[in-house]
Amino acid sequence: MAILWVILGGFYGIGFGHIFLLNIMITGVSFILGDLYVLPKFENWGATIADFLLVLAIVWLYGNYIIPQLFPVLSVATLSALLIGVGEYFIHKYIDRLLFHQEIRTVDRRTSLSDNSELQTEFGEEIDPPKK
């Protein structure tokens, strides 16, 4: 909310009611889609990109259709999405540990392949039909 308040309220004089409603919309959509759906499937990078695109779309649509256009909407939406996306990167790390109990989601292939000392190779006979 602070980022939107500084950008929209501080620089462009948008009222607190518009900023508050915009923040409620971004928080709801971003948490449900970005944090609960995208984060477990695509890790932190995917959820951060999804949140960037969601914030960009929501601020742009809200700025075009609800707020009187007294400012460059696409530039403001891009700047807001970029700053919120940076914050979301760190929030996703926190949510990943707290909600999904994942310390490190990506598998390190170098360590996981070298720790397989208990694996053995199986040998068997080929199953071919008897030759006549």
76 and 9 in contact (C-beta within 8 Å)? Answer: no
pLDDT by residue, tens only, the chain of 132 residues: 799 999 999 998 899 999 999 999 999 999 999 888 998 888 899 999 999 999 999 999 999 999 887 789 999 999 999 999 999 999 988 888 888 777 665 555 555 555 566 777 777 676 777 776
10 secondary structure, DSSP code: I
In 10 A of CB 14, how many CB atoms? 21
Buried b / exposed e along 25-60 (16+ C-beta atoms within 10 A): bbeeebeeebbeebbbeeebeebbebbbebbbebbb
* SS3 state at 116: coil
